[in-house]
A and B are shown apart, each in its own frame.
Chain A
């Protein structure tokens, strides 16, 4: 429904439109550059699986919400736009929540209130306010996908390091990747991989504070690569 409107003016995947998807992945990342949506990014990243589910949920809500708000952008009175945006976000989040509860009940329980908190995720409101209110549905859709992906990338990176270093596992499959024989000491029946070198799973990575520190280090790393992002003052 969204793509028919802009078809005549410019091609669907013009350079500018692709930029809407690409920019938020790195240089204009919602988490590390725009500083939006931190809360959920930290709370559920102790496991990679939860991070991926959360990222998909947010991509869905930003993309669909952007389209809905963009379609309504000319009829929303300015004075009640915040509450309209909240209602649109809440409706989409209810859909996500019920879907997750139906198909992955265990994970839905683990994510607990954080699915509900997507409503107040600043990325959603920020994109509604800054982009969808002033752009066509198709562009808003791409912008929503891009920002959702940018959020998801950081979530997956943080989740990857936290789960790998914290429990030596990925996706909760019960394997210990750090004990892989390629990393050292391939003798069966003994401690293998990094564990043979004296490494122990760092349970601290699974606790709350390390999420903050991991994200801080990711931000530092990104800014040391891309000097234009460095802040002048503290």
Chain B
């Protein structure tokens, strides 16, 4: 159950694109057509699936303070965490290269559809970001890390798929010249991010959970009197007011 929760949370609530803005460069550059967007999205999921668990092992047995204790008791004081960035990025670059070779050898059809995107992924911040967030979240075992990696990849895939579809349609709309292309894409992504914020309350395990319970405990009639006072003091209350207005719009 915890794994399912972690999976859903990494897809929707902590969505790579909408909550942490990772992988924006390729998200903007490759989302002009749905077909290419799907190709890159699939490649990202695959690379995340491989690199996040691998980097988890590196972190556990090499990098974190005291991780080298498996070599013997005299290594307990070693702290190699300053090497995190260089090792993680080396792992990612190597894995991307390796994945590219394996796919080329054993699945030429898949290689032809992903081919050009695989090298792009080495410098996709979503991949390195996934590993760095994995390290920050201090997962208990490798299963959790894997689930987190796959979930984040799927979240990124969904985001690029959605914006790809919207950009195909918006070609027929009369966008003001100055906003054509990049400008409107940013604004659309912002609007989609507002939509994704509504997933925030989907699981009680959200980051804003404690505040949220307090607000929800108040009956709806009293809430109207309370909210103007508390409004916009903190991030999480602002989330609540936005959510309220979103539900109102939805009901209308």
Contacts and interface: CB of A to CB of B under 8 A. Distances in A.
Given A117-B129, A220-B178, A234-B175, A209 B193 contact: yes
A119 B84 CA distance: 12
A72 interface: no
Interface string B155-181: 000000000000100110001111111
Interface string B23-56: 1110011001000000000000000000000000
B132 A116 contact: yes
Interface string A32-44: 1001111110110
- The A interface, classified by DSSP as helix, strand, loop or mixed, is helix
B132 A117 contact: yes
Interface stretch (B13-21, B102-110, B146-154, B215-223): B13-21
A90 B187 contact: no
Contacts of A38: 21, 24-25, 28
Contacts of A155: none
Contacts of A82: 93, 119, 122-123
Which of B25, B82, B128, B194 is most buried by chain A, counting CB atoms within 10 A of its CB? B25
B158 to A, nearest CB: 16
Contacts of A117: 22, 125, 128-129, 132
A209 B191 contact: yes
Nearest to B195: A209
B128 A216 contact: no
Interface residues of A, number: 55
B63 to A, nearest CB: 13
A103 to B, nearest CB: 16
Contact of A39 (B25, B82, B85, B242): B25
B99 interface: no
Given A204-B238, A220-B183, A234-B171, A42 B21 contact: yes
A120 B183 contact: no
B86 A90 contact: yes
B182 A203 contact: no
Which of A35, A87, A120, A203 is most buried by chain B, counting CB atoms within 10 A of its CB? A120
A219 B237 CA distance: 30
Given A203-B232, A207-B235, A211-B21, A93 B85 contact: yes
Contacts of A216: 179, 182-187, 190
B143 to A, nearest CB: 22
A116 B187 contact: no
Contacts of A40: 21, 125
A231 B86 contact: no
B191 to A, nearest CB: 7
Lowest 7 A-B CB distances belong to which pairs?
A216-B186, A203-B238, A212-B190, A231-B181, A213-B190, A209-B193, A38-B24
Interface of A: 32, 35-40, 42-43, 82-83, 86-87, 90-91, 93-94, 97-98, 112-113, 116-117, 119-122, 125, 200-204, 206-213, 215-217, 219-221, 223-224, 227, 230-234
Given A38-B21, A221-B178, 8 more contacts: A117-B129, A119-B89, A203-B235, A204-B238, A220-B178, A224-B178, A227-B177, A231-B182
